Structure 1
Amino acid sequence: MHRNNRNSVLRRWPLVGREAELSGFDEVLPEARSAGFLIFGPAGVGKSRLAEECLDRAIALGYRAGRAVATAAAASVPLGAIAHLLPDGADLSDPVSGFADVAALLSRPGAVRPRMVILVDDIHLLDATSAMLLRQLMDAGVIFLLGTVRSQEGPAPAVSALGHGDAVRQVDLAGFDRDQVTRALERVLEGPVGRSAVNHLLATSGGNPLYLRELVVGAVDAGVLTCDGEIWDMTADRLPGTRRLTDLIRSRLAVAPHAGRQVLQVLSLYEPLSLAHLEQDAEPEVLDQLERSGLIVVVQEERRTAVRLAHPLHGEVLRADMTARCRRDTLLRQVRLLRRTGARRREDAIHLAAFELAATGTADPGLLVRAAVLAAHAHAYPRALDLLRAIPQDHRDFRIELLLGKTLYEAGDFQQAEDVLSRADAMAATEQEVLSALVVRTQNLMWGLGTSYAKVLDVIESARCRVTDPLGRRVLLVNEAAAALTVGEVRHSLALTADLEREGTHAPDAQTWLWAAMTRSMALAVTGRGEEAEGWIRRAIAFGSTAGETRATATQEVAHQAVLALALAESGRLAEAREVGEQAFAGLPDATATADRRMLAFYLARGAWAAGHPAQARRWFAEVARSSRPHTPVMLSMALAGVAASAALQGDADAAEAALAERGRLPATGFFPEERLGEAWLHVARGELTRARAVLTVAAQEAFERGETASEGILLTDLVRLGEAGEAGEAAGRLAEIAAECTGLLHRSRADLAAAWAAHDPDGLLAAADALEATGADLPAAEAASTAAAILRGAGQSRRANAASVRAEALAARCEGARTPALMAREAAVRLTGREREIALLASRSMLSKDIAAALTISVRTVDNHLQRIYHKLGITTRKELTERLLR
């Protein structure tokens, strides 16, 4: 879906994540001994929404129903909340006889559903008379009570009266977790949602379903949450919300006393703050009251006790309601408190600098530098950038410019990072400063901006003129190796790292070794040597996990996990690669550098493609594409090609065409052989198998010449899957050579698949299916089993054919609706010749004979003759039947 609006979001907002509670209600409602179902939870967690769904289910089952809402005003009048539910003629002047009257009038003896289900919202506000009457009716089996209770209101007599006993089921609703937020968003927006957007919405809403809905409505209305045709994501950091959301939060904050409001205002401007700091300006009783009211949370963080606002949105509203003078006075008061205590704690420097800067627009330059270093170390990049940019120009030296450039890179602002880092390079006065600037700058050029190899080499050569130390020269070589790898100069990259020490403990410089080991691991994986690649990256991870100067940076840790996922995939352990990659991605803070997130997401996408899971692959490729616009054309080109291939494999030719059209408008950035998969599989989706095979043949040759054996293996395997015995035989020879050169089950199973496909060998195909399934390559395994089934059935071995067919169906069920020639028309795909199959696929897509003839450069008569033979072989007589047979 490409568009959305407020009304559609509200109309479709789903009840997700509450399946267990709904099941519990369905279970207790019919039980004669059950009397009620009470839903506890904080405001906005979805108690009323769940209760309404439960009541609707009861009505659908034939129960009579009633609704009531308890309020503080109604509680001042006995039976005020439920008076409208009481039957006419009931006299409650005498409680004993009145109860009997109500019970008799509400009862339906002998009815299939004798009890009435009554929903009461906010039971904790019921008056005592209403609570007593409802309890009597529950105990008498006249009604089944369905109620909601706000859990932060403290004990209430009505809740005690109505909730006690085993006959009443009580459930506690918590806020949504990440999975529940994702499911809700994707059902509402009717499409995948980027992980950064999910994280942002989860963090801002605190998992509160009501807040989440209002944030989504506001973000869609304001154009902050948009879809690029593939995936929904954020276009700005700030979520606008809605007026209703602001009013809800204001009413929630209104319970705070004046002194408590001051504490909340301080936290809205900067959190977390230590409890000891806040206690200097607020009485302990005030803090206790705020905590009991659910407005602040107090947590232990290592050796200090920290205080935060209970909900991120509280800060948004508090800040919006503060005048400029109030904000300034509040900040300066905190500055005085910190200076009074000497600002001894490590984080006090950040607090002091941030408070002074926000209050006055300036701060001591030395303090700003110290605070920026601490903020960057804590991955608080936006705060670090604010502090660094506030340093006066006449106080900026090489160290400040380098830190600013590095922080901009980590924050994903690659062009500004290049501008700053080039200035830092010009300011470098020592060889160490030259190298420090070079390392960050080349990383930004390669992984951030996707700059050409020639420009990166120019930067390295410029540094080489100023570096004479052997260790410094080694850093330059590693930079060159990494740059060579990014543009496909794989052999050169491996040559530059050929003498790398196998263990980091033997290296003269720990950080250089870590970078070189990662680069070498990637190069080995690209050449198909997955097991060697895994060895190098695991040694790098182990060495980088040690304490001290050798410890890997946060950026390196993410990159290491991405390369490990790549190496595992190339080793033929696709499931393990996915697990490693997804676990690493789930643990990424939003502050993680965009380049590293992209690399990890890309390898997850590539692994999903290799497994034959097009929906997963398409989603990951779309994440990479979204985060690559508009600054990183190299990654964007690769991601769009992946989107096209995945969409085509799902039969979505329109989406594939759109992705390739956007890719075609990008500036030329080099050629990566696997990118041709998008073009090839679009041809397949159109039924143009000859063109698809031609594209794959050229791309495989290009990969061979560049030494990118892993890509070559993928391309040749797809060529086998789309070709006939002769073409499969040509590819099988090269795949056998690759299997001999590169260890690993994946290469061997691909070679065996090609050999069996070429030989029309059902036993070989079934053995290849076993081997491919073991690697996690479900789609090629399904195709192998399907093809074997057709061959066996043609040979009259129906029992074995049926077993192979069942096997193929089970494997294909994992492939997310993938549509390939080998899976469509499982029996017909083998019984038809290659030319017949291609013509059949084109005809099934409503192409006229003359159009088919033009596409294949043959005569119309030849097309018609082929179609007659196809109809005869398949036992059909029309193109409609052909479409049903091939696309079922």
Structure 2
Amino acid sequence: MERAWPFVQRQAELHSIEAVLRNGAGCGILLAGPAGVGKTRLAREVVGRAEGRGVTTRWVVGALSSRGLALGAFAGLLGDLRGDPTGLVTEALRGFLSGARDGQVLLGVDDAHLLDDTSALLVHQLAVQGVAVVVATVRTGEPVPDLVGRLWNDGHLERFEVGPLGQRQTASLLEEFLGGPVERTTVGRVWEVARGNLLYLRHFVAGEVEARRLQPVRGIWRWSGGASMSPGLTDLVTTRMGELTGPAALVVDVLALAEPLEVGLLAGLTDASAVERAEESGLIRVEEAGRRLEARLAHPLFGEARRVRMGTLRARRLRGRVSQALAEAGCDQADDLLRRAVLALDSDLAPDWRLLVEAGRRAGQLCDLPTAVRLGRAAEAAGGGFEAAMIAMGAFNGLSRPSTADFAALTAAAGTDADLVRATVARAIDLAWMASRPAEAEALLDAAESQTSGEEAHRQLMALRALFNGQLARPHRAIEAAVTALASPLLPDEAVLLATTGYITGLATVGRADELAPLVTVGVAAAGRAAQYAFLQFPLTATRLLGLRLAGHLGEATDVARECWESVQGLELPTAIASVLMGDVLLARGRPVSALRWLREAYARLEPFDHAGGFEHVCLIPLIRALALTGDLTAAAEASATLRAREHPMMRFLRPDLLLSQAALAAAQGLASRAGSPSPGRPPRWRRQPDSPLTRSWPCTRRRVWATGRPSGGSPCWPVGWTAHARRPPPSTPPR
């Protein structure tokens, strides 16, 4: 059964309209706004509410098809009236009031800009004579009949601008329509597609639900992207754009494939006068970008509608022209090269492996890993050799997916010890994090150390040793290996990033959080320059937050997590990781309900990435605790069972956090068994306790227990009675 779209609660607009209606007849309101923003729906809501209060209501619609008929908009309401305009209006006034209760009438006029002159005269007389309260809608930018315009110019109607929906309104609408929570990044991306246009939003969401690209994943509605516009939405947007031919079509098509473009470059590819006309007609918009003027399509769906109907050959030719034009214009900065290469990939240009390799490195630096994979593979096919293969393999590592590279062929292609080390590191990361086989990865590392002779090569391998040791809960060995590796001023950025991540993990684990700051600075700087392992900035940030959390620096941890979240928008896996970090910090600050929303969204977002290189494990630990603390014990137990079944061997350094979450769940289950299970979503009562069996029985994890309670002084906040039912862990398995 088709879902019904709910009314968007535009409280500000409704309050203003209600205030006008309370003034009585002779007043009214004019709702003005672009097509599709919800003017009609808002007017319908006003009329419906008035009818519910016993007010007599009428509804008429202006239309192009009836504009040539006198009183065409009122034909369905008043029947067939004949005579001169003055007599028609007089007779229409009598007919309009027939059947009205207590003489009160509210008239809704949709698309008043399309009224015929006689209908406009009737509406004018109804308002001026105080016969009816008028609620009318008009489309901005369209000419309106003179008499309709005079209604608000003379003060009979109060004009109210109805703008596009904001992101919060879009989120509320989506959650009410879909019947469940919607991932915040999905809300943002859907809003970017529709730009608050309610008409476009309805068609778009309906099409994506039907295509199952917008569906619930692990209890959260997510949009997977890659939309293909439904025929209905395509027709709707195409009608809005109007018939495009010749130069105008070329302007829109070029931007549909390559927006934004500098105005001068766009004019050179198309026609300057056509660009001006496209702006004047609302097809494109021109904005300042520093010292330049850039052109974009006026609405994202304009581009999608043109791409759907564009032929493959035309699209390939136009992409090639834009790529060449960028090169001829001297656009040779790193981001320009990336843009040129992506356009060239799907064009009629011959592949240039040098351009593809440079662009692949830049994509890796930006953590745009799917693009890095595409560019690396294309560079390999074009003869890019070892460098191209390393770009693709590094990107697969970052996407937490096993590489398809032939490692034997890759090592054979390594011409130097440095190349052999790079290949070994990539393969070891693949084995340890993606394949969950750390023993094989360390054996590979041992073999590589025996095959290389240079000191610098050994230091690079030692950098990876530091990361291994840190993640495998060998903190002192991690610190020692990192110090050895970082002693070399010639260490490549990728190796610096590996070493600092391992170093920070070791320091955080042993409680030396005050030493993290300078290492973080070094690691972040290296990540900004590294092409192959820039994605390791996220494990680096995660371990930094671990140290801050354990040291009680929760304010700083919140700032770091939020900055990470804001920096990764538009990147699939990094956004999921940043959501985990936000949820973990909020949980440490004693905000389990807010934390739960972030963690549930992160868990849903991680679903396409299998173990996500261990970040599924990282997510489940606080998720178990958040579910337990908010009373959803069934879901908490299910998450705990999932973690036991899918525990990642490279996440041993988080074992104390895992035990803490298990203890929280055990305590909650113990309380529930004695007092009855709390309802899901109803957290138990909180009381500060001076001490508890849980905190006494685990001296080495008291720092972590404190970090998960309230940030203020005193003992952690635990649900009343929970700690009395915690299952004390056996002494033979202390957390490491």
* Alignment counterpart, residue 27 of structure 1, candidates 19, 39, 60: 19
Q: Contact between 1:645 and 1:681, CA under 8 Å: does it hold in 2?
A: yes
Give the superposition deviation at 1:304.
Answer: 3.9
Q: Do the aligned residues in 1 keep the contact of 2:62 with 2:112 (CA within 8 Å)?
A: yes
Match of 1:227 among 216, 221, 225: 216
Match of 2:478 in 1: 493
Matched ranges for 1:543-622 at <5 A: 555=535, 562-574=542-554, 577-591=557-571, 594=573, 596-622=574-600
How far apart, CA to CA, are the structure 2 residues paired with 1:293 and 1:139?
35
TM-score, normalisation: structure 1: 0.69
Cα distance in 2 between the residues matched to 1:392 and 1:21: 58
Residues in 2 aligned to 1:334 and 1:72: alpha-carbon distance in whole angstroms: 41
The one of 461, 466, 471 equivalent to 1:481 is: 466
Whole-angstrom distance in 2 between the partners of 1:605 and 1:363: 44
In structure 2, the partner of 1:675 is 658
- Rounded to whole Å, the distance in 1 between the matches of 2:405 and 2:329 is 35
Match of 1:451 in 2: 436
Which amino acid in 1 is paired with 2:630? Q
Secondary structure of the corresponding residue to residue 297 of structure 1: strand
* 8 A contact 1:618–1:643 mirrored in 2: yes
Q: Quick one: which of 446, 452, 474 aligns to 1:461?
A: 446
Q: In structure 2, what is the equivalent of residue 300 of structure 1?
A: 288
1:434-445 equivalences in 2 (<5 Å): 434-437=420-423
For residues 186 and 446 of structure 2, the distance between their equivalents in structure 1, rounded to whole angstroms, comes to 41
Alpha-carbon displacement from aligned partner over 1:775-802 (angstroms, at most 9, x marks no partner): 7x9x944x5xxxxxxxxxxxxxxxxxxx
Between 1 and 2, higher relative CO (CA 8 Å, sep ≥ 6) is seen in 2
What code does the residue aligned with 2:401 have? F
Q: For 1:48, which of 40, 53, 57 is the aligned residue?
A: 40
1:506-538 CA-to-partner distances (Å, cap 9, x unmatched) read 9977665555444433433334444444x3466
Q: Which residue of the partner structure matches residue 93 of structure 1?
A: 84
For 1:238 and 1:121, locate their aligned partners in 2 and report how far apart those are by CA, in whole Å.
Answer: 36
For residues 607 and 217 of structure 1, do their structure 2 counterparts lie closer, same or farther at Cα, with a shift above 3 Å needed?
A: same
Measure the CA separation in 2 of the matches of 1:184 and 1:566. Answer: 37
- 2:84 maps to a residue whose letter is S
Partner of 2:733: none
Q: 1:673 to 1:333 in 2, by over 3 A?
A: closer
- 1:808-843 Cα offsets, whole Å, 9 max, x none, are xxxxxxxxxxxx4449xxxxx9xxxx69x99xxxxx
Residue 215 of structure 2 aligns with an amino acid whose one-letter code is T
Q: Aligned pair 1:82/2:20, yes or no?
A: no
Supply the distance in 2 between the matched residues of 1:544 and 1:387 (Cα, whole angstroms): 22
**Counterpart position of 1:268:** 256
Distance 1:618 1:609 in 2: 8
Q: Name the structure 2 match of 1:654.
A: 634
Does the 8 A contact of 1:518 with 1:536 survive in 2?
no
Tell me by how many angstroms 1:420 deviates. 6.7
Q: How does 1:604-643 map to 2 (within 5 A)?
A: 604-626=582-604, 627-628=606-607, 629-632=609-612, 634-643=614-623
Q: Any conservation in 2 of the 1:606–1:617 contact (CA below 8 Å)?
A: yes
Structure 1 pair 179/573, CA: closer, same or farther in 2 (3 Å)?
Answer: farther
Residue 136 of structure 1 is matched in structure 2 by: 125
1:596-643, CA deviations, whole angstroms, 9 ceiling, x for partnerless residues?
444433222222333343333333333343315424373334434543
Q: How does 1:49-64 map to 2 (within 5 A)?
A: 49-64=41-56
Identify if the C-alpha distance between structure 1 residues 440 and 283 changes in structure 2 by more than 3 Å, giving closer, same or farther: same
Secondary structure in 2 matching 1:406: helix
Q: Cα 1:106–1:351, aligned 2, differ >3 Å: closer, same or farther?
A: same
Contact 1:296 1:307 in 2 (8 A): yes
* SS of equivalent residue, structure 2 residue 67: helix
* d(CA) in 2 for partners of 1:33, 1:280: 58
State the partner residue of 1:205: 194
* Residue in structure 2 matched with residue 843 of structure 1 by the alignment: none
User: Which residue of 320, 335, 344 maps to 2:308?
Assistant: 320
Deviations 1:110-135 (A, max 9, x none): 988x6532222222222333334323
Q: Distance in 2 between matches of 1:464 and 1:531?
A: 33
The change in CA–CA distance for 1:660 and 1:35 in structure 2 (over 3 A counts) is same
Amino acid paired to 1:433: D
User: Closer, same or farther in 2 for the Cα pair 1:556/1:180, shift >3 Å?
Assistant: farther
Which position in structure 1 is the counterpart of 2:277? Answer: 289
One-letter code aligned to 2:194? S
Q: Which residue of the other structure, out of 234, 239, 264, is the alignment partner of 1:251?
A: 239
Residue of structure 1 equivalent to 2:149 = 160
Output the amino acid matched with 1:399.
Answer: E
> 2:346 aligned to 358, 363, 367, which one?
358
* Secondary structure in structure 1 of the residue aligned to 2:206: helix
- Structure 1 residue 278: deviation in Å? 2.6
Distance of aligned partners of 1:748 and 1:576 in 2 relative to their CA distance in 1, 3 Å threshold = closer
User: Aligned equivalents of 1:198 and 1:542: distance in 2?
Assistant: 30
Shift of 1:248: 0.9
SS at match of 1:141: coil
The percent of aligned pairs where both chains have the same amino acid is: 25
Q: Residue type matched to 2:377 in 1?
A: R
* Cα contact 1:108–1:115 (8 A) shared by 2: no
Structure 2 unpaired stretches of 5+: 675-685, 728-736
Aligned pair in 2 of structure 1 residues 541, 209: CA closer, same or farther (>3 Å)?
A: farther
The two structures, once aligned, show a CA RMSD in angstroms of 4.5
Aligned to 1:732: 696
Instruction: Report the secondary structure of 1:584's partner residue.
Output: helix
Specify every segment of 5 or more residues in structure 1 that has no aligned partner in the other structure, as ranges: 1-5, 692-720, 751-771, 784-819, 824-828, 839-888
- Is the Cα–Cα contact under 8 Å of residues 453 and 484 in structure 1 kept in the other structure? no
Quote the offset at 1:49 in angstroms. Answer: 2.0
Which residue of 2 is the match for residue 870 of structure 1? none
Specify the SS of the correspondent of 2:30: strand
Alpha carbons of structure 1 residues 456 and 23: separation in structure 2 relative to 1, 3 Å: farther
Correspondence for 1:70: 62
Contact kept in structure 1, 2:508 and 2:544, CA below 8 Å: no
Change (3 A) 1:219 1:402: same
Structure 2 residue matching 1:634: 3-state secondary structure: helix
Q: Which amino acid aligns with 1:72?
A: L
- Post-superposition shift, 1:394? 6.5
Which of the residues 422, 428, 438 maps onto 2:414? 428
Q: C-alpha separation between the residues in 2 aligned to 1:338 and 1:47? A: 43
* Aligned AA (1:487): L
For residues 528-553 of structure 1, give each alpha carbon's deviation from its aligned partner in whole angstroms, at most 9, with x where no partner exists.
Answer: 444444x34664488679xx969999
- Given that residues 409 and 444 in structure 1 are in contact (C-alpha distance below 8 angstroms), is that contact kept between their aligned partners in structure 2? yes
The yes-or-no answer on 1:215 pairing with 2:215 is no
The answer as to 2:391 corresponding to 1:403 is yes
Q: How big is each residue's C-alpha offset from its partner over 1:224-245, in whole Å with a ceiling of 9 and x where there is no partner?
A: 22323432224x4312443321
The alignment covers a number of residue pairs equal to 710
